[in-house]
Structure 1
Amino acid sequence: MTAERRHLDQLTQAGADLFEVGLATEDAYLDGPVIQAAYQRTLRSGNVVDAAVRAVEHAAVLQPTVVMTYWEPVHRHGPEHLARLFADAGAAGVMVVDLPAHQAARWHDTARDAGLRTPRLIPRTTPDANLPAAVAGASGWLYAPASTAPTGYQGPLHLPALGHFTRRLRSVSPLPVVSAVGISTPALAARVAPVVDAVVIGTPVVRALATDPERAAEVTAAFAQALHTPTSTETRA
């Protein structure tokens, strides 16, 4: 068993009940240094798409798995090609975080034809008048960042602002609202969970995998415990 598969198994045992697999790209401008460094390591190793497909194949056996990517690799490799690759690997969906508006209809149709859900990241700065168009065609869930900073942000969160944004999204779409970005501690995760329908933890787990892989399960367990409390329903670690 490869180290990657072993780590995925350990994260599942620690309480992770959904996996988000990133497809590495050079210009991950919405991500902070920890995720960008992980992408650079993958890019140096080559065969980036193959590596992502292998990760999805194993992760999807364990828990529902979603691929997170940017439009550049989707455009470069071909939307139809990538959608079919990840669908065949067992992915439940693919989220293109910077999906261009003029490509949205094509991508949503392509992914739907492949049997994939298409979660959408919606910036908090989106005006009310633009929200219906921003969520059109999305499926699975809407992704509402808890912070407007890049991933890995470790400062305070403005939970009333996140709550207001969540209500705005729910007013235009029946889809669940998922949050991530800046949820840097289990205590913050417990505070965010009641505001949204699910929580994704990225950088803390990736940081542990990069610096002390055996601690990654411990980190995951701490977040899972904070999320799965009587006041936190339908949460994800």
Structure 2
Amino acid sequence: MTDTPLPFGHLADRLRIGAAALGVALDVRQQQQLLDYLALVAKWNRVYNLTAIREPAEMLTQHVLDCLAVVRPLQRELGDRALRVLDVGSGAGLPGVVVAIALPASTVTCVDTVAKKATFMRQVAAELKLGNLHAVHARIEAMAPAAADVITSRAFASLHDFVSLTRPHLAPGGCWMAMKAKPGADELTALGDDLEVFHVEQLEVPDLEADRCLVWVRPIQTALL
């Protein structure tokens, strides 16, 4: 694990308080992994421009806490079991890296079409010793089926494209969890007759003054009980 340089070290209290507010239990190792992850993003960002956010406290709020907000909903919808998570268009590893740290029993595969971003995520997995985190440099439509329990993304502009392109990778009984700002009614009704939006869930992210929600989608014929 990397040595976390200031100013990331002094964000530990904000991380702990934010995670508690979100109902996510993190042990000391997981908290340190998240701070080390932020340090790696900042380090690689100088060369590879992984994110437009540069200020450490904003990175904590807009990246880590924003992604930690999906952990409890994931556990509620799919239970406290080891999940196969597919994060599409993962970029700097969001939300995939955060989910892999928070849910170490689950397997998380992050996919991105940009080689340097996949390389960064592999470096994160190696340095933070995340054996459950995998990174793939590919277009999602060119990948072999992944059989994921949940497919997620916070990068796709269109819900329809996100679901259509990733559908071959959804396991029976699985669902999509799209991270969105505020989806419009037209976007929610454009998915097709064999799919249902079964929940649009508002999220409250500590210290973040912006709309955040999860859009949950599943095939009607494999609806979760």
TM above 0.5? no
TM-score (norm 2): 0.37
Q: RCO greater where, 1 or 2, for CA within 8 Å and sep 6 or more?
A: 1
TM-score (norm 1): 0.36
Q: Name whichever structure is richer in helix by fraction.
A: 1
